[in-house]
Amino acid sequence: MANVPVLPPPDVDRDALVSYRRRRIIDQMEAADVDLLVLLNPVSLRYACDWREYPLYQSRIQVYDLFVHGDGTMAMHGGYGSSPPTVGSAQPTHAMNSFDGGLDLTKRARRFAADVEAAAGPGARVAVEPINPSTLCALAERGLRVIDGEPLMEAARHVKSPEEIGCLRHAIAVAEAAMDVMRAALRPGVTENQLYALLHQVNIANDGDWIDSRMLCSGPRTNPWYQMATDRVIEAGDLVAFDTDMVGPFGYCADISRTWLTAAAPTAVQRDLHRRALDEITHNASLLVPGRSFREVAEQAYVHHDDFVPHRYTCLAHGVGMTDEYPKIAHRCDWDHAGYDGELVADTVLAVESFVGSCRGGPGVKLEDMYLVTANGPVRLSSYPFEEELL
């Protein structure tokens, strides 16, 4: 246990943090003219009222739902522990899932719809996060006007308060402390799983929550990207690429990627790939200026040689808060089928991504850093050094 770093948490003003997030939600409700917002996404529950119970369970078996009224008062349905002070009342769960309700969810869906109508009023306009079809039908049967709640929450989470930036900085510091532990453990003979497990260990030791993926691969598995950690034994000369995808302390995300070299001198190909990836994130980060459109970022982004385009990362950059979030800025070549426009604004955080691996084969390099968009330009939040031997 002595080798697991535990960082002192920042002195976050919890009242200011919660108050800001509640105000952001209310503002979105007012803009959308909704009488009630129903939240089911565990990340939304954490954002709205600092609810932390069973988040991964809730992500697949819905047992909690939060009613948010236009004045900011909240009612939680479901829960095993004590409610946060921001929740005004605690009610029995609706549990609109087959584990709790059996294979016919009609009865539970109708009970839920009746409670929504009682809370919002007959014919009310209600925003609801993604739910099953039977529940949506039950709401419609009661004449409630239902709109998507997910875009409201994405818009609310988009602009960060100073307290949120402090939480993000702490999550990044914990992730980078874990990366130090991982780097020290990287040697021939260790498996990918053993190495990635260290990130989980340090995160939990620092009161973090979970890891969104198992993104660590080595040697011939580094290209193409999106190959999860396995029991492959890492060998001398291997590149090891990873993405933290870490939901850390306070529920905020650290999304950082590095590629390391294992116990050998770099080859010319390895150094060239790393240089291209570093050039890409450095160039694209410089474009993160308030007022610039997402399309302008795509059009002005770093241009790779044709060999590297087929295996490109899925986007140039994306928002980060409690997890990956709006926006996702598409590559120029993907714009027509995957892009959507918008405008960069200050006090938002984006992760700038690069994966460079040839479609002809060979190794790949993954790099990613997080940036705060400010009126004076982008500020790099993640500070972990790049692999010196590959520079």
Q: What are the extents of the domains in the chain? A: 14-157, 159-390
Quick one: 159-390 is in which CATH superfamily?
Creatinase/methionine aminopeptidase superfamily (3.90.230.10)
Residue of 342, 331, 382, 364 whose CA lies nearest to 165? 382
Going by C-alpha positions, the residue among 372, 389, 228, 204 that lies closest to residue 290 is: 372
Q: Looking at domain 14-157, what is its CATH homologous superfamily?
A: Creatinase/prolidase N-terminal domain (3.40.350.10)
Q: Identify the pLDDT of residue 317.
A: 98
pLDDT the model gives residue 144: 98
Closest CA to 343 of 326, 368, 323, 320: 326
Compute the half-sphere exposure of residue 110: CA atoms within 13 Å on the CB side of its CA.
4
The CA–CA distances, whole Å, from 378 to 73, 282, 329, 386 equal 36, 11, 16, 19
Token duo for residue 112: 């839920």
Structure confidence at residue 344 (pLDDT): 98
Predicted local distance difference test score (pLDDT) of residue 90 = 85
The pair of structure tokens assigned to 115 is 């409670």
pLDDT tens digits in sequence order for the chain, 391 residues long: 558 999 999 999 999 999 999 999 999 999 999 999 999 999 999 999 999 999 999 999 999 999 999 999 999 999 777 777 788 888 899 999 999 999 999 999 999 999 999 999 999 999 999 999 999 999 999 999 999 999 999 999 999 999 999 999 999 999 999 999 999 999 999 999 999 999 999 999 999 999 999 999 999 999 999 999 999 999 999 999 999 999 999 999 999 999 999 999 999 999 999 999 999 999 999 999 999 999 999 999 999 999 999 999 999 999 999 999 999 999 999 999 999 999 999 999 999 999 999 999 999 999 999 999 999 999 999 999 999 999 9
Rounded-to-10 torsion of CA 229, 231, 234, 240 = 0
What is residue 204's predicted lDDT score, i.e. its pLDDT? 98
Please state, in angstroms and rounded to a whole number, the distance separating the CA atoms of residues 199 and 81: 28
Q: Which two tokens stand for residue 86?
A: 């921001």
For the chain, strand residue ranges (E) read 36-39, 65-69, 74-77, 89-91, 125-128, 145-148, 210-211, 216-218, 239-243, 246-247, 253-254, 257-261, 317-320, 324-329, 348-357, 364-374, 377-380
Res 2: pLDDT = 55
Q: Which of 366, 363, 362 is nearest to 353 (CA)?
A: 366
Q: Does residue 224 have a cis bond before it (omega within 30 degrees)?
A: yes
* Residue 295: predicted pLDDT: 98
Looking only at the bridges linking them, the beta strands covering 145-148 and 125-128 are: parallel
User: How many angstroms separate the CA atoms of 214 and 149, rounded?
Assistant: 29
What are 185's two structure tokens? Answer: 């453990």
- DSSP alpha helix (H) spans, 71-229: 98-101, 106-120, 133-141, 150-158, 162-185, 192-205
pTM: 0.96
* pLDDT for residue 260: 98
